Structure 1
Amino acid sequence: MNPAHIDHQQILAFLSVAQTGSFSAAAQQLHLTQPAVSKRVALLESQVGAALFERLARQVVLTEFGAQFLPAAQKVRQAMDDLAAVTLDSSRPLSGRLAIALSHYVGLHLLPSVLETFSRRYPDVVLDLRFMDSEAAIDAVAQGSVRLAYGTLGHSAPSTVETTPLWQEKLVPLVALRHAEQHTPTLHELAQHLPVIAPAAHTSTRQSIDIWLNALQIRPLAVIEVNQLDSIALLVGTGIGWGVLPETLQNSDLARLPDTALAPPERQLGLITQKNRPTHRLAQAFMDCVTESQ
């Protein structure tokens, strides 16, 4: 294999398919046709002399060689991004594409005004927003697939990642209003009759909730796992369960449970970047917009 024959666009196609697990999803992400993505991956496989993906009925997975090739491909993309960051003419108007990973909650509740400000201020910049769990967003920054991310800051992060707290939120226990019309149950009473609706066990928000409930010696009747907090609020409003959610999600369909001996947990949300990477003008412009909104 001659590295000089490998095209950067082939690397991008490979990484996008590896990330999304689908040629069609990669085509949407790269704003290409599916045949174009397939052709670029096929050309790359021809150059490296081995299959990178195993095409299954409804899924595309990395081959053993593809998994070994992945870290090197990520380094190539990161090097190209860093090269662009240090050579971009600072006097030119901002243009190009900026990939940002966002948790659903941050994107929908904390950054809408920032997204509008940025898009108005820099109309020639394409925001490639990738909504994912905060934990996946941290991994995406660590791997170099995105330059920056905004989400919940977990209890730990890879040593290559730097986190900057921007928002502090208090979580509160909520139940459907109909369950509190005549008598607002205590958390202990509720836990004996209804399941808790909570994020997946691997998320930092869920871990904070579990630590709090354990400290109160509360064992939920059952756990319904739903990752998106807006979806949890909607389900809690139906009355099928209760939840522990940010105060911002309390609405007319939900009632707050009485205070407990131990205050509910809090969580930090903020910026996630990779340490020691050159600052890209597009990324810096977006971060500046976030700072202005604080």
Structure 2
Amino acid sequence: MDTQHLSTFVAIAESGSFSVAAARLHLTQPAISKRIALLEQQLDKKLFDRYGKQTQLTPAGRALLPHAREILQAVTDAGRALADLDGEVSGPLSIATSHHIGLHRLPSVLSEFSRAFPKVHLDLHFLDSEKALTAVAQGEFELGVITLGGQTSGQITQRPIWRDTLEFVCAKTHPLTQQEPLQLSDLCDYQAIAPDSNTHTTRLIQRLFEGNELTLNISMVTNHLDTIKMMVSIGLGWGVLPRSMIDAQLTTLNLQLPPLTRELGVVFDNRRSQSNAAQKFLAVLQSSTQAG
């Protein structure tokens, strides 16, 4: 099968649109349609159903998609391995990271790496940690820098880099600041602002409440910790944030609990040979953390 036809097929499958795929691949829509027609002719299977402007995979298309991704990834890996033989650190390096890590942990690492290896093209994408982990496992990114703790198979290596201490916080004007002594059960009377329930951070909080036979009252959900900080700071509810984000806008609640922590780090597929760029990035990440 022609890799151009397969890359076109994957682009349409991921975007759900012939026109969006055409723009992504810098091709005309007739050229995109022709590639798919040739691929369908070669396979003797219809790959897409069209309903007006909607495009959906047929059963044959769904069966082909993971194999197409694997084939394209193998071709990419082969080209990268050959290019890496001379030891040069260049080419693309795809990284998925969460907004919090990308904004608060990675800037100095990315700056140092880009200065040391200017021939590497950093392809950085911001995703929720759980989605980034899945994308790395599916071969969409070479590295993920995320909150660790998600379910992984044996193919994914998780390497801790940072440890976040989490604190319960609220606005200075919140009624919780007037309660002394403060118990965990007191928080149940007020609205919480937290990430989505499928995130590792919120699961940590839920386990703490459930372990004390309490019900967590989450009124607003957002996966951006900076947004949670803003909403908590203006008194819309209490929240849980990394200690590194707490400033004069917030009051830390003294709950006399064991420290609540989470690990942040890097993940990668251990079945794939790492590019020179990925190896150097991991080295810079580790060294900058040790220096910090």
TM bin (shorter chain) = 0.7 to 0.9
Alignment of 1:98-109 (within 5 A): 98-109=93-104
Match of 1:204 among 196, 200, 203: 200
Structure 1 residue 15: Cα displacement: 2.9
- Give the 3 Å change call, closer, same or farther, for CA 221–89 of structure 1 in structure 2: closer
- 1:141-190 residue CA offsets vs partner (Å, 9 max, x unmatched): 21111111110112531221111111111111111222169725734333
Q: Matched residues in 2 for 1:129 and 1:236: separation?
A: 29
Structure 1 unaligned residues grouped into runs of 5+: none
Structure 1 residue 112: Cα displacement: 0.8
SS at match of 1:178: coil
- 1:58-86 residue CA offsets vs partner (Å, 9 max, x unmatched): 76543322211111012112211321232
Letter paired with 1:257:
L
- 1:218-252 residue CA offsets vs partner (Å, 9 max, x unmatched): 32334422112222112212211111111122122
Match of 1:237 among 228, 233, 240: 233
Q: Matched residues in 2 for 1:133 and 1:160: separation?
A: 20
C-alpha contact 1:171 1:247 (8 A) present in aligned 2: yes
Q: Percent identity?
A: 36
Q: In the alignment, what sits opposite 2:153? A: 158
C-alpha contact 1:26 1:37 (8 A) present in aligned 2: no
- Give the 3 Å change call, closer, same or farther, for CA 123–205 of structure 1 in structure 2: same
State whether structure 2 residue 176 is matched by structure 1 residue 146. no
Q: In the alignment, what sits opposite 1:218? A: 214
Q: Matched residues in 2 for 1:214 and 1:37: separation?
A: 56
Structure 2 unaligned residues grouped into runs of 5+: none
Structure 1 residue 292: Cα displacement: 2.3
Q: In the alignment, what sits opposite 1:136? A: 131
- Give the 3 Å change call, closer, same or farther, for CA 221–79 of structure 1 in structure 2: closer
Alignment of 1:251-290 (within 5 A): 251-260=247-256, 262-290=257-285
Alignment of 1:1-294 (within 5 A): 3=1, 6=2, 8-21=3-16, 30=24, 32=26, 35=29, 38-39=32-33, 44-45=39-40, 47-55=42-50, 60-91=55-86, 93-179=88-174, 183=178, 186=182, 187-192=184-189, 194-260=190-256, 262-294=257-289
TM-score normalized by the length of structure 1: 0.84
Letter paired with 1:166:
I
Deviates more, 1:135-144 or 1:119-128: 119-128
Structure 1 residue 125: Cα displacement: 2.3
C-alpha contact 1:96 1:124 (8 A) present in aligned 2: yes
Structure 1 residue 54: Cα displacement: 4.2
Question: Aligned residue pairs: how many?
Answer: 286
C-alpha contact 1:180 1:255 (8 A) present in aligned 2: no
SS at match of 1:287: helix
SS at match of 1:12: helix
SS at match of 2:174: helix
Q: Matched residues in 2 for 1:24 and 1:290: separation?
A: 39
